[in-house]
Amino acid sequence: MPALLEVSHIDLYRGETQVLWDISLALDPGERVAILGSNGAGKSSFLAAVTAALTPVRGEIRFNGHCLVGNRPHEVTGLGIALVPEGRRVYKDMSVRENLEMGAFPKSARGRLKETLERVMGLFPILGQRKGQPAGTLSGGEQQMLAIGRALMSRPKLLLVDELSLGLAPLITKSIYRTLAELGTDITILLVEQNVEQALNFSRRAYILESGRMTRSGNSADLMQDADIRRAYLGM
Amino acid sequence: MFAISLMNGLVMGVIYALAALGVSLVVGIMNVVNFAHGELYILAGYFSYLFASALGVNFVLAMVIAVGLVFFLGLLIEYLLIRPTYGNDMYSLILTFILSIVLQNAYLLIFGPYPNKPPLWVQGATDVFGLFLYGNQRLAALAAGAALIAVIFVIIKKTWFGRIIRAASQDREMAELNGVNTTRLNMLSFGLGCALAAAAGVILAPVFPVTPTAGVPVALTAFVVVVLGGMGSLWGCVVGGLTLGLVENFGAAFISSGYKNVFGFMILILVLLVRPSGLFGRAKI
């Protein structure tokens, strides 16, 4: 089976500063993969390259047969990539329902809005209960569910999740991960996390990013047992 | 006196609100202040005069053509002048300022300094509640302005386009991630902003004739309304516009007409002292 997302040897700059060096990664359809690393390691920059918010100076990004470098962010969304951004970034003044509807803006998703809306509200029943409320009045966990729901509304093949656990209580994080696990294998998930333990539990494989370089990769279960990683990231 | 001032205030308030909605739309989405807003307002007045009075086109059709032409001119201005300046707000500020001066002088060359006036939509006057006679044209302008504002609000609230506008003015990058082509949205909203100025222009031109510089006070008032109502808030435009129209006319009637323009700024200063982000503005955008 060909890879769904294939990133080969990209170098990326933010302004004048190089943030990624020679990063390669491949995702098979249906996989759950995590990118781990501390603050400032370049995880969000990597996602910015995949969503075409930043353009790599070298290297190639291919998704489902399309070359992503040179596309604009709205075109990438149309191809079937959805991002749950760091800090959730829900439209605070719009209702929960309108936020979800915005997620279904790409033409490929708009026709099946009703059906997808019901599915998302089935995954996160609290969003259904609060559908008329302005998104800014939701709790942090509910806003995270809304951000995920909004991303799912575009019926993506690839879901990118940036720092899901940031600022959330451990119990809520756990329940959101459980819901993500229920999504089934028609959606491939790439996680970016500082919360290494949660991410390794959720994912099958993981890559480790340090100061803009990919230093290790492997099965999540193996990485979990690795002494270096336990010391560096899990504090054990 | 009271009732007449009220009516005058409402008519002007609705026009201010329309003009301010155009400014607010462009500021909210593109973070660009269009200093030529007033000149586009005037241009639509000239167009409707040209088509209706000089060429004899039906006045409604003349207004529609005028607003349409200004809309397309707005698209062109965005494409030629604003788009190359993204990332530096100062350039677009200077460019639209220059555009306003160029347009004023072009009007002076083409139409001369004389006031021009498209034909009235309706003749005569109506007895309002048995209190006073009020010009039918002004009543029609009030009704047309109010109807247009209502249509704008329905579009903003109910359509995809409205949803995108609200989303993009809250978080542009996120809207782009949701699949919105922000380049096209910019162009369209700039054109629409200009079209709203034009709509205010064609509605008011039969009452207040157009001259090459008559757009300056209208644009200035529109900026005041946007700040008064709160940057980027569309409701703020309506409330701010009506407030300003009423205050100006009551002040002129009961205190002194010489200070008409001062009252607006006094209200602005008072509101900003208490609420720095304007009546309906968010503390931080």
| pLDDT above 90: percentage of residues in chain A | 81
Residues of chain A neighbouring B171 (CB-CB closer than 8 A): 89, 91
Question: Does B50 fall in a domain?
Answer: yes
The whole-number average pLDDT for the span B228-238 is: 88
Inter-chain CB proximity A154 and B170 less than 8 Å: no
Which of A72, A83, A91 comes nearest B167 by C-beta? Answer: A91
Residues 123-182 of B with CB under 8 A from A: 160, 163-164, 166-167, 170-171, 173-182
pLDDT 10s digits, B1-48: 788 889 889 999 999 999 999 999 998 888 899 999 999 999 999 999
Q: Domains in chain A and their CATH numbers?
A: 5-80+157-233 (3.40.50.300)
Inter-chain CB proximity A105 and B177 less than 8 Å: no
A106 touches chain B (CB under 8 A): yes
pLDDT 10s digits, B46-84: 999 999 988 888 999 999 999 999 999 999 999 999 999
Residues of chain A neighbouring B176 (CB-CB closer than 8 A): 72-74
Question: Does B9 fall in a domain?
Answer: yes
Q: What is the pLDDT of residue A185?
A: 83
Instruction: Look at residue B117 and tell me whether its pLDDT is greater than 90.
Output: no
Inter-chain CB proximity A105 and B166 less than 8 Å: no
Identify whether the C-beta of residue B229 lies closer than 8 Å to the C-beta of residue B280. yes
The DSSP secondary-structure symbol of B206 reads T
A134 touches chain B (CB under 8 A): no
Question: Does B112 fall in a domain?
Answer: yes
- pTM score: 0.88
Q: What is the pLDDT of residue B95?
A: 95
Q: What is the pLDDT of residue A236?
A: 64
Rounded Cα gap, residues B177 and A150, in angstroms: 11
Q: Which residue of B174, B181, B234 is the best one to mutate when testing the A interface, meaning the one whose CB has the most A CBs within 10 A?
A: B174
pLDDT 10s digits, B146-183: 999 999 999 999 999 999 999 999 999 999 999 999 99
Rounded Cα gap, residues A7 and B7, in angstroms: 66
The whole-number average pLDDT for the span B191-204 is: 95
Number of domains in chain B: 1
Q: What is the pLDDT of residue B258?
A: 82
Residues of chain A neighbouring B282 (CB-CB closer than 8 A): 93
Non-local (6+) Cβ contacts of B53 within 8 A are B116, B117, B118, B119
- Per the structure, the complete domain to which residue B193 belongs is given by 2-212
Q: How far is CA B132 from CA B5, B12, B127, B159, B277, in A?
A: 11, 18, 6, 41, 39
Residues of chain A falling short of pLDDT 50 = none
Question: Does B160 fall in a domain?
Answer: yes
| B227: closest CA of chain A, how far (Å) | 19
Q: What is the pLDDT of residue B283?
A: 55
| pLDDT above 90: percentage of residues in chain B | 63
Inter-chain CB proximity B177 and A83 less than 8 Å: yes
pLDDT mean across residues, chain B: 90
Q: What is the pLDDT of residue B285?
A: 42
What is the predicted ipTM? 0.90
Identify whether the C-beta of residue A74 lies closer than 8 Å to the C-beta of residue A27. no
Question: Does B17 fall in a domain?
Answer: yes
Question: Does B13 fall in a domain?
Answer: yes
Question: Does B206 fall in a domain?
Answer: yes
Place of tokens 């902003």: B193
Which of A82, A93, A105 comes nearest B166 by C-beta? Answer: A93
Q: Is A155 left (phi over 0), alpha (psi -120 to 50) or beta?
A: left
Give the residue among A73, A56, A69, A72 at the shortest CA–CA distance from A21.
A56
| B281: closest CA of chain A, how far (Å) | 12
- A107: burial class by Cβ within 10 Å (0-12, 13-18, 19+)? exposed
Question: Does B180 fall in a domain?
Answer: yes
